């Protein structure tokens, strides 16, 4: 089963940017869809963005126009570029293949605060 390691989180002021990276333990070449999820304190995990093998992307309404997901199959990585960050984006961010996956990484914490 493929495992993921997320990185790139940190503390940023409102309006700032961060670039999250997700490294897979094996090739993601054959994985049709990859996505990012997030879980804010006291809330359930929610889907943020997804990208299929062909590069087609989808985003949650709350991040549309601010976040960009991309994938590099050769490097087995998935990237989430986050711009114009808001306090409501504060959460632990995870990448995976789908929401029903049983194995999740530790995630990377994003804190948006002044």
pLDDT by residue for the chain (114 residues), tens only, comes to 889 999 999 999 999 999 999 999 888 878 889 999 999 999 999 999 999 998 999 999 999 999 999 999 899 999 999 999 999 999 999 999 988 888 999 999 999 999
Could you give the C-alpha distances from 9 to 1, 50, 64, 65, in angstroms and in order? 25, 19, 19, 20
């Amino acid at each position: 089963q493929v495992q993921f390691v997320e990185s790139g989180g940190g503390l940023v002021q409102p309006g700032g940017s961060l670039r999250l990276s997700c490294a897979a333990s094996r090739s993601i070449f054959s994985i049709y869809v990859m996505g990012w999820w997030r879980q804010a304190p006291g809330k359930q995990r929610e889907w943020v963005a997804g990208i299929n093998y062909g590069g087609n992307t989808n985003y949650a309404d709350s991040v549309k126009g601010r976040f960009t997901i991309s994938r590099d199959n050769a490097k087995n990585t998935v990237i989430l570029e986050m711009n114009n960050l808001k306090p409501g984006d504060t959460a632990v961010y995870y990448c995976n293949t789908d929401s029903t996956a049983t194995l999740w990484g530790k995630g990377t914490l994003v804190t948006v605060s002044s």
